[in-house]
Structure 1
Amino acid sequence: MVNDVTRYPYIAIIGDIKDSRKLKQRKASQLRFNEVLGWLNQTYQEDLAAKFTISMGDSFQGLLKDKNHLISMLFELELNLAPMELRMGIGLGDVETEINSDNSLLNDGSCYHRARAMIELIEKSEKQYAQSSSNILLAAGSQDPHYEKLINTIFALETALKTKWTERQKEIIRIYLANGKNQYRTAKVLDIGQSSVNKALNSTDFYTFSHSLSTIQDTINQL
């Protein structure tokens, strides 16, 4: 297949916090939400066509012009917002309005429509207690159904792994990634032994999980 980079010029991400009204210390959680999205906008500013913007207190959306860091961006967002749980829809496509780079809520186009459809599908799946569920889904339209099915199947498998992680395990993984995947530096930051870091990574099947992230990113890069 010839990779035509103009087919999907933009990637919309629309998400929300699951069961946000049930959160303890809701005000502190919303402040953290705003802080992490600000960090995301700063860290990945070169990838963004429009900054991640909060709407209605517990929802957000952003627009990417470069997809090369998409998956690592979303995983870091999840880790930094834990224990809050996220739903996220990803839509590949066009933007049909003039792009407002400071407020993603003012933009619209096929990529946004597809991302919203994925959020709705996740919510529908949760209500039906589907056997196969995911907190992240991607839509690319009718051009690449096989790629889309593969990506969303891996997302579902990743969700099955993530839901088994404890908050402590998530913290260790977050620090591990922030320290260049170095177990000794991670142990020093957390004031624990390197063996404890290694045990946490192995018990979460993190290396298999990380490989699946790379596989999804490589597949998306083919679109």
Structure 2
Amino acid sequence: MSEDTDDRQFVALIGDIRGSRELDDRSGVQEEFEQVVASLSDRVSSDSIASQFTVTTGDEFQVLLTDVTDAIDAAVAASDRFHPVGLRFGIGTGTLDTAINPDQTIGMDGPCFHRARDAIKAAQKEGAWIRVAGWSPAVDDHVNTMVDLVQCVREDWTDRQAQFARALSEEDTQTAVADRYDVAKSTVSESIDAGHVQEVRAVERSLGTVLRCSSDGETP
């Protein structure tokens, strides 16, 4: 193990495009995917990024982080921007066996990456949005179950609901969202309520909190 990593715990996030081989405009979707991945570093604290967001193939990216809440935030932000094309994610925690390359994750290896890879394989097998691995079995199961509930709601969002949900995370107020799209505030409010957007956001925030507290040995 590298002297740079010792026994430090990291969080590896792997994301890819669901059903990419069946897409009509695969090259165009991959180009958009690269743009979305490039934007994620602005969503995450620079202190948390141990190794930068890296597109490893046209359909997949990896990043190494120190804070699991940032992994959840990145997965949510990428999914918001990539609607209606679906993404899936594997999140794994653990140590690192290789030296840290701050510029890209290619060539890095260790339990955190192995667990993230196992998690995304599980997501693919189960048709899931996110799978996590490496915390306790009870915590992993709890978070994965909550993810499935959120996924059920998110996948029913209309394009307009997804658009407003993303805008609300950027603008903070429904009035600002209404102004952005030149619609009545009631239109935004009704869409947000029908899509249970506020409830989805609350659960998404709690996922990172549960995982971080479990890592720190605290009670959420």
Rate the CA distance shift 1:51–1:217 in 2: closer, same or farther, 3 A. Answer: same
**Alignment partner of 2:106: what SS?**
helix
Pairing 1:167–2:159 present = yes
Kept in 1: contact 2:13–2:71 (CA 8 A): no
Q: Which 4+ runs in 1 deviate beyond 4 A?
A: none
Aligned counterpart for 2:171 among listed residues 179, 189, 199: 179
Kept in 2: contact 1:53–1:62 (CA 8 A): yes
Q: TM-score, normalised by structure 2?
A: 0.88
C-alpha distance in structure 2 between counterparts of 1:121 and 1:167, whole Å = 27
- Aligned residue in 2 for 1:138: 132
- Aligned residue in 1 for 2:95: 94
Pairing 1:150–2:142 present = yes
Rate the CA distance shift 1:122–1:43 in 2: closer, same or farther, 3 A. Answer: closer
Q: Give how far 1:123 is off.
A: 1.9
Q: TM-score, normalised by structure 1?
A: 0.87
- Aligned residue in 2 for 1:47: 48
Aligned residues, how many?
Answer: 208
C-alpha distance in structure 1 between counterparts of 2:86 and 2:192, whole Å = 20
Rate the CA distance shift 1:214–1:11 in 2: closer, same or farther, 3 A. Answer: same
**Alignment partner of 2:90: what SS?**
strand
C-alpha distance in structure 2 between counterparts of 1:20 and 1:186, whole Å = 31
C-alpha distance in structure 1 between counterparts of 2:81 and 2:204, whole Å = 17
Aligned counterpart for 1:194 among listed residues 174, 182, 185: 185
- Aligned residue in 2 for 1:108: 109
C-alpha distance in structure 2 between counterparts of 1:191 and 1:203, whole Å = 20
Structure 2's unaligned 5+ residue stretches are: 1-5, 216-220
Q: Give how far 1:55 is off.
A: 2.0
Rate the CA distance shift 1:68–1:56 in 2: closer, same or farther, 3 A. Answer: closer
Kept in 1: contact 2:43–2:74 (CA 8 A): no
Q: Greater shift after overlay, 169-178 or 26-35? A: 26-35
Rate the CA distance shift 1:8–1:218 in 2: closer, same or farther, 3 A. Answer: farther
> What percentage of residue pairs aligned between the two structures are identical?
29
Q: Give how far 1:81 is off.
A: 1.6
C-alpha distance in structure 2 between counterparts of 1:178 and 1:59, whole Å = 25
Residue identity in the other structure for 1:167: D
